[in-house]
Amino acid sequence: MNGPDPIDRLRKILESVAPDLDVSTIGVDEDLRNDIGLDSMDFLNFMIGISKQLGVAIPEADYGKVTTLAKCVRYIEEQGRIKRAPA
């Protein structure tokens, strides 16, 4: 993920799907569903937002790997490396 701070980019996506949250106060290691209280629809829309805005599709089977903002960044970076690796 290049450009602006990846956490800030994810917070903007999160804010677009859950505008009632104060995303600036969300810690990078807080669980988005258990600690922050995102419902399943908001979480799904967050995953869709990541796909649309960052070009990384996160399959439902991997949702357990992206439960925090820090884990989202790590997952996205790993997916980027996989895409760039020669076949």
Asked if the structure places residue 80 within a domain, the reply is yes
pLDDT at 3: 55
Give tens-digit pLDDT for 14-43.
Answer: 999 999 999 999 999 999 999 999 999 999
Asked if the structure places residue 29 within a domain, the reply is yes
Greater pLDDT, 3 or 4 = 4
Domain carrying residue 61: 6-84
Question: Residue 63's domain is classified under what CATH number?
Answer: 1.10.1200.10
Asked if the structure places residue 1 within a domain, the reply is no
Give tens-digit pLDDT for 51-86.
Answer: 999 999 999 999 999 999 999 999 999 887 543 333
Q: What percent of the chain has pLDDT over 90?
A: 77
Question: Tell me, what DSSP letter sits at residue 32?
Answer: T
| Type of residue numbered 74 | R
Asked if the structure places residue 79 within a domain, the reply is yes
Alpha helices in the chain (DSSP H): 6-17, 40-54, 69-84
Quick count: other Cβ atoms within 10 Å of Cβ 66?
22
Number of domains the chain contains:
1
Longest dimension (CA), the chain: 44
